[in-house]
Amino acid sequence: MASLKVGILISGRGSNMRALIEACAAADFPAEVVLVISNRADAAGLALAEAAGVPSRVIDHRDYDDRESFDTAMTEALREAGAGLVCLAGFMRLLSGEFCQHWRDRLINIHPSLLPAFKGLHVQERMLEAGVRIGGCTVHFIRPEMDTGPIIVQAAVPLAADDTADSLAARILEQEHRIYPLALRLIAEGRVRIVGERVLIDGLALPAERLLNPPPV
């Protein structure tokens, strides 16, 4: 089966982009990254993509009169590269409804919470303020509304009593680097189906482990 061709959108350091590129470098991985697009010329992730031999382009949103024309430019670049799936990896721009519709069910994102809880920004600070015991991260298909869409993979991360926003973010990021390649593999293998607004995964087994925080004594 031919590899799924993937485009990645970034705005910054590109750590999740790197996790995807490294996963795709494995001989048995069913996807390949064909293009990285950044809306910022100074994004550190561009250097990572270059070092990995992945083509990249800067499409600066400030060069366009509106969101729609900027999104059209990205779509044209992705189409030229042959991308069949688009992954957001720290892309800090809201996407137009037209872009979301054009790439519907071929556009995914990773968010540092267990959606639908804690949508938006400053997620770790809000988790700590709320006093939750378990946080985590989510890979999901994108819909026009921010941080919504069918959920593909989630990872749970327990909060510690002495956590700061930075320490919690670092632990969640470790899990992001695990679940984003997993979600991409599941899609590329053709195991992901969307029924209504719910993802069904063929051959899925319920994990044996359970997470309690605090653990039973």
Q: Are 53 and 36 in contact (CB under 8 A)?
A: no
Please tell me what DSSP assigns to residue 25. Answer: T
Q: What is the dihedral of CA 199, 203, 209, 214, to 10 degrees?
A: 0
Work out whether strand 192-195 and strand 151-158 pair parallel, antiparallel, or are unpaired.
unpaired
Whether residue 61 lies in the annotated active site? no
Q: CA-to-CA distance for 12 and 168, rounded, in angstroms?
A: 20
- For residue 197, what are its two tokens? 């607004």
Identified catalytic residue from 111, 122, 140, 177: 111
Would you name the residues annotated as active-site residues?
111
